[in-house]
Amino acid sequence: MSDRELIYFEILKKEVVKTLQKSYVVNSDIKKWKGQDITFLQDDLSDKVNGRISEKWFYTHIKSNTGKLPRIDMLNILSKYTGYQNWNDLKDKSPEIKKENSKNRNNKILILLLVSLFIGGASIGFHFYKKKSIYKFCFIDSDLKIPITNSPIWIIWLSDNESAMISKCDSTGCFQFTTQKEKIRFIVRSPYYKTDTITRIIHNKEIKKEEIQLKTNDYALMIHLFSKSKVKNWRKRRAQLNQMFADNAKIYQVASDGETGMELYNKKDFVNKLTMPLKSLKNIEIIETIYSNDKISILRFTQHNE
């Protein structure tokens, strides 16, 4: 196998990117693709040329520079996906690749290596020179003006061209982090408070603390309290629950042991369960609520045994 074949393979990778970008928004650098991007490619291949690739195959032959070509059948599938008849057709129609003199090629490699080392060294120096900032965010109840300590709070970090990362606040309702970024953006999610997206411009201070108010997720909190309280007026309770949920709502009970899957309720079944004088659905802990037109359309909860 010649270096020319590997160059044609790099051309094929770029053609794959261009083809997938016609249907999905993906990074222009195929080596930066991750789970969802690979899934997009798998689906598009299946739809357009009835082709199949595994995630392991993608990481082996696309993201890694093994210096080896994939099997010819896979090259043919990808070439067909990008609009060519097969691998040979792609090579015939690609620009002429001229063989370089070995000495000149080695000189170019040496120059590129020296430039890369210089840029890398400069980047590392800048990284350590740039001062890091320590920030602390604490969340408080917007009504009571007290720290949120009775409900877990999850932080979902949003970064360009990266998968979201998740952090959790401590027992005081706060989290602390160190960053060199000038701007941060994250989603705050808590079972009994409304989801919010926070964007902050970072200032160059050594330590900064900020309090952020979260609004109560009233319906989620009421359902939690309903499951623990004794009810005298069942008709009123049913009316309240009917008002909370959309008619086509889906309610999922997640098993507390994490092993036995989940159970699905519709609106009517869930209201019946929660308004019958039984202990079959007590001690509910809300996991997630999703709203549509100010009514709950999706509810996920778990039940703890007394």
Over residues 199-236, the pLDDT tens digits come to: 887 765 555 788 899 998 888 888 888 777 776 677 88
What is the spatial distance between Cα 208 and Cα 231, in angstroms, rounded to a whole number? 47
Specify the pLDDT at position 214: 93
Its pTM stands at: 0.51
Summarize the confidence of residues 126-141 as an average pLDDT.
Answer: 70
CA-CA distance, 160 to 39, in Å (whole number)? 19
Task: Examine residue 197 and state whether it is found in any structural domain, yes or no.
Answer: yes
Looking at the structure, tell me whether residues 74 and 148 fall in a common domain.
Answer: no
Closest CA to 156 of 146, 166, 143: 166
261 and 182 in a common domain: no
Assess whether 149 and 191 both reside in one domain.
Answer: yes
Kindly state whether residue 118 falls inside one of the protein's structural domains: no
| Angle at alpha carbon of residue 192, lines to 140 and 145, rounded to 5° | 20
How large is the average pLDDT for residues 249-258? 80
Sign for the pseudo-dihedral over CA of 84, 85, 86, 90: negative
- Are both 179 and 141 inside the same structural domain? yes
| β-strand partners of 286 | 301
CA gap 251, 194 in Å, rounded: 18
Range of the domain at 47: 3-93
Per-residue pLDDT averaged across 254-275, rounded? 79
- Assign residue 163 the CATH number of its domain: 2.60.40.10
Asked if residue 234 and residue 204 are part of one domain, the reply reads no
Mean pLDDT, range 231-252, rounded to an integer: 86
- Is residue 120 in a domain? no
CA distances from 118 to 113, 124, 222 (A): 9, 10, 61
Identify whether residues 7 and 88 lie together within a single domain. yes
* Residue 216 DSSP code: B
The answer to whether 23 and 44 are in contact (CB under 8 A) is yes
Same domain, 55 and 75: yes
Model confidence at 109: pLDDT above 90: no
Cα(242)–Cα(15) distance, integer angstroms: 54
Q: pLDDT of 40-99, one tens digit each?
A: 898 899 889 988 888 888 888 888 777 788 899 999 999 999 999 999 999 998 876 644
Q: How much is the pLDDT for 248?
A: 93
Domain boundary residue among 214, 246, 276? 214
* Domain identity same for 172 and 240: no
Number of structural domains the chain divides into: 3
pLDDT of 281: 58
Q: Within 10 A of 139 (CB to CB), how many other CB atoms are there? A: 26
